[in-house]
Amino acid sequence: MFDALKNMLRRRRDAEPAPAFADDDKRVAEAALMFHVIAADGIVTDEEKRTLSQRVSRHFGLTDEEAAQLVQAAREADAEAIDLYRFTSTLKRELDYQQRLGLIEGLWEMVFADGVVHELEDNVVWRVAELLDVETRDRMELKQRVREGHDRDEAARG
């Protein structure tokens, strides 16, 4: 009887598709930080979700379906994390300085996605940059560049 139960559980486990993104995948870590930024103010808007999906799709070369799976994995990872170190320690080890700058730029894109720079979002980017050993000057230059790009986009739509 015990063997039958084990076999049934094994068949069920084997029938389940493997997750598209493993917990230790650096893409999950990057996307989880981006999700953490858009959720920092307690409101995740449709525009923020769309920006996150577009960013991960473009940055990692994913289809829309793969991007949706990554965003879901990131949301779950963020919900389970007790701090940012879980993600930043992996990324500090896996990314060179230029890639870390690219991540910080992506975080700023999340901050500006809804057109409102909330102090909690700004603070998350600052903390992540510190944990990734990104220079303050570089972080602020990236913020300015993303802000200017966002302002140009808004003016063009306007």
- Enter the tokens of residue 73: 């994995």
Structural domain for 121, as ranges: 24-157
Which tokens hold the place of 113?
A: 């996605």
Residue 37 inside a domain? The answer is yes
Residue 42 lies in a domain: yes
97's CB contacts (< 8 A; 6+ apart) are: 134
Judge whether 148 lies within some domain. Answer: yes
Total number of domains constituting the chain: 1
CA distance 91 to 86: 9
In a domain, 151, yes or no: yes
Instruction: Report the Cα 5 to chain-centroid distance in Å.
Output: 39
**pTM for this model (two decimals):** 0.84
Q: Which of 39, 42, 155 is closest to 107 using CA atoms?
A: 39
CATH of the domain at 59: 1.10.3680.10
Q: Could you please report the per-residue DSSP string of 27-38?
A: HHHHHHHHHHHH
Tens place of pLDDT for every residue, the chain, 158 residues?
Answer: 556 545 555 655 554 444 577 767 899 999 999 999 999 999 999 999 999 999 999 999 999 999 999 999 999 999 999 999 999 999 999 999 999 999 999 999 999 998 888 999 999 999 999 999 999 999 999 999 999 998 888 888 76
In a domain, 61, yes or no: yes
Say if 6 falls within a structural domain. no
